[in-house]
Amino acid sequence: MNEVGQRLYPQVVAWLAQADELLLEARGESRMASGQVRFGVLASISPQLVTEVFKTVREKFPRIQLQISSGLSGMLAEGIGNGTLDLALLSTNTRDYRSQEIPIGSVPHVLVGAPGDVITRAKTVTFSQLDNLPLLVPGGRYALHGLLLHWAHRKKISLNVVAECDALDLQKQLIRTAGVYAIMAISAVRSDVEKGFLQAAEIVSPALQRNLVLRVSSAKPLTPACREVLRIVEQSAIGLLKADAKPAVRSKI
């Protein structure tokens, strides 16, 4: 098998498995959803959500095999686009939802600093207070990239990006020990703040919101297994983010 064949082989196997499941459903032979479902989730909210989804799927649909990926929104959106993911929970900066998206809610962003830090000790910080602060950001065009540049220009401030880091745990470690700050969704650091490991102040004037959506791949038809996992992820995400998210208008896929 050549290099192209080796790269495409896993996708072909998944497509054949999904085709078999669709055929069984059409014949009325499938009594319980089964097969592989490739599910992606934002790293900032993955631990609790993945645990909830995994337990529910295993209990109700033991014949479904989850393949779980965790990462930044850009990576997840790429996976949905090229068909290597069936569904993904990711963030966008627009409220113009696509036909293949289910809106979950909007989560506020906070400025995260080390324990005892003067700036993040307050309940809120204005966007202008980000001027020249040493910022740690994800690599590449992360979800808030364009929005931050837009408001920095509007507010006439300088964003001082001192390093890029995609790993959430490493970001938190550097914030605690290296005197840098990061802008994150509150869901990414709520536990750390409650335990006193980090501090976080909500960014206002303007507020920065992360719009969470469940996006489904249009590369192939949804199997019964994908539909069941989609429903479970939607319910779990809404429940777990209730403390942080403003509810969105529901839609159906």
Output the domain CATH number for residue 150: 3.40.190.290
What are the per-10-residue average pLDDT scores of the chain (253 residues)? 62 61 52 91 85 96 96 90 95 70 90 98 97 92 81 96 93 97 91 96 93 92 95 92 58 52
- Indicate whether 93 and 113 sit together in one domain: no
Count of domains forming the chain: 2
Residue 233 near residue 86 (C-beta atoms within 8 A): no
CATH number for the domain spanning 227: value is 3.40.190.10
Domain that includes residue 160, residue range: 107-209
Q: Which pLDDT value is given to residue 107?
A: 84
pLDDT for 241 equals 76
Check: CB of residue 238 under 8 Å from CB of residue 105: yes
What's the pLDDT score for residue 8?
61
Q: How far from chain centre, in Å, is Cα 118?
A: 30
241 and 197 share one domain = no
Domain assignment of residue 253, yes or no:
no
The pLDDT of residue 11 is 64
Chain-centroid distance, C-alpha 114:
24
Q: How much is the pTM?
A: 0.76
pLDDT for the residue 249: 45
